[in-house]
Structure 1
Amino acid sequence: MIRKSIFLLLGLILTGTCQGFILPKSVVKAQFALNLYSEGSETTAPALSIPVSTTTTNNNVVKFRRDYPKALDLIGNTPLCDITNICVPKNPGTRILGKCEFFNPGYSMKDRIIKNIFEQAEESGELKPGMTVVAASSGNTGCSVALMCAIKGYKAIVITNAKCSEEKCASIRAYGAELLIAEKGQDYMQMELDMADKDPNLYSVNQYNNLDNPGAHYQSTGPEIWAQTHGEITNFVAAGSTGGTISGIGGFLKSQNPNVRVTLADPRGSIFANFKATGVVKKGTPFLVEGVGKENIPGAMNFAVIDDTLTVTDKEAFTMCRTIASNTGLMVGGSSGLNAFAAAKLAEESEEPITIVTMLCDLGVKYLSKVYNEEYLEENDLK
């Protein structure tokens, strides 16, 4: 009955037959909305800046075609978000800002490096139409390779290990890539290089030693952070795996202001923190956070850019993920939790007001079976 009355009333409004009748405020609002962009109205829709290109047909008739972005155009220019409320800074003037890399189409910052690696390889002729791309990855780079191959029309083979989450494995397959999971004792990074050596039709991404990896962050992420903070950044915090993120961004920020302090957040069990302190490569121990830390030193890592290190446990990283979700509404992966924990520690210890930027590397939905799974956390003593 109520629904019929509403439709009747709207009918009267539209036909103009309810003159002299006092309408409820909600109906007046509805009428305003219906008339807002009607013909002859003084109010017009806001102008949008969409590129327009023209083509001329055989009949000399000009046709206008609007250009809209494609997936490739969505990589980069991610927002910077205030996540200071993940902790209580010692100085109330301190801010923690998270670079929301899950806004990339592949939901991680690895889209940036793969875009640059592909473009440089195509320009040099190393990557040609008809070739197959092979990449070793702990997960996110594999997703980005599979995404880029889907966009550009290449076949893809991604090699990962058993630590890779179910969600990331499913994402890689969804883009049409072939996924190989290394068995215990196999070096999945070496598997990529060996496969490419045997088959000239395979292009090896080699993200761990490819300098177009840090180059991507030097050219895009670093300048974005500098511009978004108006040059006010004092501290940059990021973990390392290939080393591309911290080396590229840290290098750019220091080129603008040598006083920007770069801190490497390293999972307990990784060898990076000890190597930075001693210069000695020691054997690492297992850890659960994906996509960060290593048991060897990649060629893309530049330790000269790093000022200091902070070691973070699996439990601290995973707990911080839940803190970020419940305090900010952002749902991120384990490496983001690790980065944020290190950033929070700096904020809680600094007497002076500082502006910290850290990387929120990827989307938490990729870790529903792990970081956000109660059974997994209990089984691994992470609660």
Structure 2
Amino acid sequence: MKYAENILGTIGNTPLVKINKLTTEVDALVLAKVETFNPGNSVKDRMALKMVQDAEADGRLKPGGTIIEGTSGNTGMGLALAAIVKGYKLICVITDKQSKEKMDILRAVGAKVVVCPTDVEPTDPRSYYSVSKRLGEETPNSWYVNQYDNPSNAVAHYEQTGPEIWEQTEGKVTHFVVGVGTGGTISGVAKYLKEKNPNVKIWGVDTYGSVFKKYHETGIFDENEIYPYITEGIGEDILPKNVDFSLIDGFTKVTDKDAAIYQRRLALEEGIFVGNSAGSAIKGVLQLKEHFKPDDVVVVLFHDSGSRYVGKMFNDDWMRERGFLDEEVTTALDLIKDHIDKPLVVAKTEELVSHALERMRKFKISQIPVVDTSGFVGAIDEATLFQNYILDKNLADKPIREVMSAAYPIVSAHATIEEVSRLINKQNQAVLVALDGGKYHIITKYDIINSVK
């Protein structure tokens, strides 16, 4: 009989799958190393088990101990499998940027999950780097994994992933493309492949908001490049020791929007239901296409499963809120369709300015149309209020009719964006849209800017 002794015995030997429809413009054979076939559905199973085994071997991890790690979710899943089989406790420290699915999966496999804010410096005591390190120091009989600097991370890919790619391509691989986070995958695979054939090119996929690409090209760690981004699993605001820049031939950066769009396209056009970093990786391949020749064999690695992003990148509402869906926006109605169900906030001529200010705060808006019994007769906005406040500090107690500006122009729901845009200027901050049933809605500068893709 042929079977694994436990679930850890099923890690590795993931398939190579040809990419067909998305790479028609790439003049080379593109093969995806689909790591979702690992039992924890990600490439991180490989290094998680290797790190645990090495820590057991040298005494860092003792029987009944607690494993502690900062993770974007996938390493935590791999560690959870090892912890279950080997009898350890697990604490995963994760950022609030990660999908709810990742957090729920970690809890489902017995991990305690500690959530930290994303938008803080790595040295901030609230960061997931700092919190995981502190928990490792405070928790009795614990082992802090530190996948970023743990050499076993890269060794796992040198011993497993690299040899698999070499054997599966019969040594014909010419380029390896992969998203870079902790650096273990790219460095381990690169070391093995370049030992086999120094001419194999290694390409890292980075994201905007990360420091890798510029540091590789200039040797400068530019803190100005660090800012929040949506893409999960790749990019860093630190330089992990596992990233061996000497083995990497170049980087390409992929936007959050492209990562999300191409993740969805992999599912819809190739039938490969994979994660956010896979969208970055395949878009990276397309961006690098001028480096490939007809006889080249390009291997791109897909890190994890799409099931961890169902509530985010695979959710149309989530995509639409961030302007990631390429929907055609041509009319006034298109500009407001995402919030057309919200009632129009108005003020009356005889109300006090303080009432308008209260409504602005409550609804988080900057412009309010003013009405009387005859209809729309004026408007009030932040700029008008500010100018009047400079002249009169008792502004809040004045009737709105004394400070209001001219009424906003009214357009039909079918007016073009160009027509609407021409009506918004320094003197006129918004436009009203006439809808069916005698209802109206407001279009502001924000709505027009938000329509820009």
Q: Give how far 1:147 is off.
A: 2.1
Offset of residue 83 of structure 1: 1.0
Is the Cα–Cα contact under 8 Å of residues 29 and 294 in structure 2 kept in the other structure? no
Shift of 1:350: 3.3
- After superposition, give the CA deviation of every residue in 1:137-170 in whole Å (9 maximum; x if it has no partner): 0111112122221121111100001011011101
Instruction: Give the Å deviation of 1:349.
Output: 5.8
What is the distance in 1 between the residues matched to 2:291 and 2:216?
A: 22
Q: Tell me the residue number matched to 1:17.
A: none
Work out the CA distance in 2 between the residues paired with 1:89 and 1:308.
21
Q: Is the 8 A contact 1:96 1:344 kept in 2?
A: no
1:101 aligns with 2:29: no
5 Å-filtered alignment, 1:113-124, equals 113-124=47-58
Check the 8 A contact 1:105/1:111 in 2, yes or no.
yes
1:207 aligns with 2:147: yes
Q: Share of identical aligned residues, percent?
A: 38
Match of 2:76 among 123, 127, 142: 142
Residue correspondence of structure 1 range 122-161 to structure 2 within 5 A? 122-161=56-95
1:189-338 to 2 correspondences below 5 Å? 189-283=129-223, 284-338=226-280
Displacement of 1:379 after TM fit? 1.1
Aligned counterpart for 1:167 among listed residues 78, 88, 101 = 101
Please give the alpha-carbon distance, in whole angstroms, between the structure 1 residues aligned to 2:174 and 2:146: 32
Q: Distance in 1 between matches of 2:128 and 2:26?
A: 43
Alpha-carbon distance change, 137 to 90 in structure 1, aligned in 2, over 3 angstroms: closer
Are 1:188 and 2:128 an aligned pair? yes
- Counterparts of 2:24 and 2:34, CA distance in 1: 21
The residue type equivalent to 2:75 in the other structure is T
Aligned equivalents of 1:84 and 1:270: distance in 2?
A: 30
Contact 1:102 1:362 in 2 (8 A): yes
Shift of 1:348: 6.0
Secondary structure of the equivalent of 2:288?
helix
User: Could you say which residue in structure 2 is the equivalent of 1:59?
Assistant: none
Counterpart in the other structure of 1:374 = 316
Letter of the structure 1 residue corresponding to residue 16 of structure 2? L
Distance (whole Å) between structure 1 residues aligned to residue 299 and residue 4 of structure 2 = 31
| Greater displacement, 272-281 / 322-331 | 322-331
Give the Cα separation in 1 of the matches to 2:258 and 2:245. Answer: 24
Q: What is the RMSD of the two structures over their aligned residues, measured on CA atoms?
A: 1.4
Letter in 1 for 2:228: P
SS of alignment partner, residue 353 of structure 1: coil
Quick one: which amino acid aligns to residue 143 of structure 1?
A: M
Q: Which moved more, 1:149-158 or 1:176-185?
A: 176-185
1:287 Cα deviation from its structure 2 partner: 1.1
1:179 is matched with which residue?
Answer: 113
What is the CA-CA distance between 1:89 and the residue it aligns to? Answer: 3.1
- 2-side partners of 1:266 and 1:315: how far apart? 14
How many Å separate the matches in 2 of 1:131 and 1:148? 12
Aligned to 2:433: none
SS of structure 2 residue aligned to 1:85: coil
Alignment of 1:65-76 (within 5 A): 68-76=4-12
TM-score if structure 2 supplies the norm length? 0.68
1:64: which partner in 2? none
Query: Please, which moves more after superposition, 344-353 or 114-123?
Result: 344-353
> Cα deviations across residues 62-97 of structure 1 (Å, max 9, x unaligned)?
xxxxx5442110100111110132122353xx1111
Distance verdict in 2 for CA 1:352–1:95, change over 3 Å: closer
- Which amino acid in 2 is paired with 1:359? L
CA–CA distance in structure 1, aligned partners of residues 190 and 26 of structure 2: 25
**Contact persistence 1:165–1:367 (CA under 8 A):** yes
Aligned CA distance change for structure 1 residues 157 and 376 (closer, same or farther; 3 Å): same
- Alpha-carbon offset, residue 345 of structure 1: 2.8
Distance 1:112 1:351 in 2: 31
1:124, 1:191 → 2: CA distance? 25
Residue identity matched to 1:373? N
Indicate the structure whose relative CO is greater, using CA pairs within 8 Å and at least 6 residues apart.
1
Question: What is the CA–CA distance in structure 2 between the aligned matches of 1:261 and 1:275, rounded to whole Å?
Answer: 19
State the alpha-carbon separation in 2 of the partners of residues 69 and 86 from structure 1.
39
**One-letter amino acid of the structure 1 residue matched with residue 67 of structure 2:** V
1:60 paired residue number: none
C-alpha spacing 1:83/1:352, structure 2 compared with 1 (3 Å):
closer
Asked if the contact 1:96–1:347 (Cα under 8 Å) also holds between the matched residues in 2, the reply is: no
The letter for the 2-side match of 1:372 is F
Name the CA distance, whole Å, in 1 between partners of 2:91 and 2:293. 50
SS across alignment from 1:98: strand
**Maintained 8 Å contact 1:131/1:201:** yes
Give unmatched runs, 5+ long, in structure 1: 1-49, 52-66
Instruction: Give CA deviations for 1:6-64 in whole Å, capped at 9, x if unaligned.
Output: xxxxxxxxxxxxxxxxxxxxxxxxxxxxxxxxxxxxxxxxxxxx25xxxxxxxxxxxxx
Q: Calculate the TM-score normalised by the size of structure 1.
A: 0.80
Aligned residues: 317
Are the equivalent residues in 1 in contact too, given 2:26–2:286 (CA < 8 A)?
no
Cα distance in structure 1, aligned partners of 2:171 and 2:253 = 27
Alpha-carbon deviation of 1:126? 1.0
Who is 2:376 aligned against?
none
Contact 2:8 2:81 in 1 (8 A): no
Measure the CA separation in 1 of the matches of 2:320 and 2:314: 11
